[in-house]
Structure 1
Amino acid sequence: MSPGTASARRRGFWLRTLHQWHWISSALCLVGMLLFSITGITLNHAAQIPATPDTQTRTAQLPGDLLAALVAQADDSDGSEPLPPRVRSWLADTIDVRPGAREAEWSPDEIYLSLPRPGGDGWLAIDLASGAVESESTDRGWISYFNDLHKGRNAGPAWSWFIDVFAVACLVFCITGLVLLQMHAGQRAMTWPMVGLGVVVPALLALLLIH
């Protein structure tokens, strides 16, 4: 086998491999890139996008047996722990609040639980003297919801893992694309000027126009 033939075979192998990784990573990234691109625009123009938060307040009276159990637990609490399962079940059935295993702030007089989520906020307070339960929930709409997903705000560990995996897939997409550009640059004279433009424009904006 001549050196030219071996070189051509190596080039063909790497082209096929890179194209395969490039299209696989692009398929994995497609929906995520659309989501992050669109929410990048909405975040950049957040002040110009009107939003009317919807706030709901709910109140209830904790049953005596559950209140007694909370008071006893508050005496032994270290100040931060989840609500007991029976109380969480009662809250879900009575006022449609599902705190899950989030840690609440325990004091001798009150239990307070912050309930932030993508696109909204909320809190829950239980008065240990009277058993009064008060909850407030604020919904800022779908745009705020997707903006918070973009930032990973209050979205939980599963979404955090998704962002990490998505970022790795994007790196594979970009790096394989760069190598493919290098392999085809000989037949495409504008390859490196266009790549250079993609570097120079944001660099000049950062140096000259960002204060």
Structure 2
Amino acid sequence: MSSAVCLVGMLLFAVTGITLNHAHQIPAQKSTLSKEGVLAEQALQNIALPDSDTAPLSRDLRIQIRRALGVYLPANAEAEWYGDEVYVPLPRPGGDAWLSLDLTTGDLLYEKTSRGAIAYLNDLHKGRNTGAAWSWFIDIFAAACVLFSLTGLWLLVRQRNNRPGTWPAVALGVVIPVIIIVLFVH
């Protein structure tokens, strides 16, 4: 059962392990989307400046920005408040995005960059900018893989008399990485 639960995740993590090892050889499929707009004067006047340099945007301001640009901003996105500008970093797997609002003119500038599907999958592998749900998934998946490996080891122990070549193969699986680390990883 543990192998059935782990099947797709193990394939995904094995393939992205290869793509991460060869990231310098895989060309990125970079694309950038830019949007410009102006916040309505009424919305601009209703902005309440926060007490600190970093604070999320109010719900009303996020709605106004969505109307002006068609861009969804999550409620937990931490904005950086400067004297006359608000900058909202919006990191995401496989790319990046940001929004800038000029508090004096209402000018909005949004940019979203994507580095392609492989970069997206690589970031999922690393859990980079993926949020709590994905972080929980990869932790639970890792625990399932540990369970899968330990139950496999337990089966090897139970079948040791029927398969005499098992333990040399297990020892080789330990020795080869150790030798590579000692001799070639600096």
Unpaired runs of 5+ residues, structure 2, are none
Shift of residue 144, structure 1, vs aligned partner: 0.6
Shift of residue 85, structure 1, vs aligned partner: 1.2
Equivalent residue number for residue 18 of structure 2: 41
User: Is structure 2 residue 107 aligned with structure 1 residue 132?
Assistant: yes
What letter is aligned with 1:89? I
- State the Cα deviation string for residues 142-201 of structure 1 (Å, max 9, x = none): 111000000000000000000111011011100011011011011101010000000000
What letter is aligned with 2:52? D
What is the TM-score normalised by the length of structure 1? 0.85
Shift of residue 51, structure 1, vs aligned partner: 1.3
What letter is aligned with 1:84? S
SS of equivalent residue, structure 1 residue 186? coil
- State the Cα deviation string for residues 130-151 of structure 1 (Å, max 9, x = none): 1111111101111110000000
Task: Tell me, in whole angstroms, the C-alpha distance in 2 between the residues paired with 1:152 and 1:170.
Answer: 17
Q: Summarize the alignment of residues 122-161 of structure 1 with structure 2, pairs less than 5 Å apart.
A: 122-161=97-136
- Which segment drifts farther, 80-89 or 168-177? 80-89
Task: Tell me, in whole angstroms, the C-alpha distance in 1 between the residues paired with 2:104 and 2:135.
Answer: 39
Task: Tell me, in whole angstroms, the C-alpha distance in 2 between the residues paired with 1:147 and 1:96.
Answer: 28
Contact 2:43-2:64 within 8 A present in 1 as well:
no
User: Is structure 2 residue 163 aligned with structure 1 residue 191?
Assistant: no
Equivalent residue number for residue 20 of structure 1: none
Equivalent residue number for residue 25 of structure 1: 2
What letter is aligned with 1:52? Q
Shift of residue 88, structure 1, vs aligned partner: 1.4
Match 2:96 to one of 121, 124, 136: 121
Equivalent residue number for residue 84 of structure 1: 58
Q: Which has the larger radius of gyration?
A: 1
Contact 1:119-1:139 within 8 A present in 2 as well:
yes
Equivalent residue number for residue 178 of structure 2: 203
Shift of residue 69, structure 1, vs aligned partner: 1.6
What is the TM-score normalised by the length of structure 2? 0.96
SS of equivalent residue, structure 2 residue 83? coil
Contact 1:60-1:95 within 8 A present in 2 as well:
yes
Task: Tell me, in whole angstroms, the C-alpha distance in 2 between the residues paired with 1:94 and 1:193.
Answer: 66
Number of equivalent positions: 185
SS of equivalent residue, structure 1 residue 130? coil
More helix per residue: 1 or 2? 1
Runs of 4+ more than 6 Å apart = none
Shift of residue 97, structure 1, vs aligned partner: 1.8
- Which segment drifts farther, 51-60 or 121-130? 51-60
What letter is aligned with 1:42? T
Match 1:172 to one of 142, 147, 151: 147
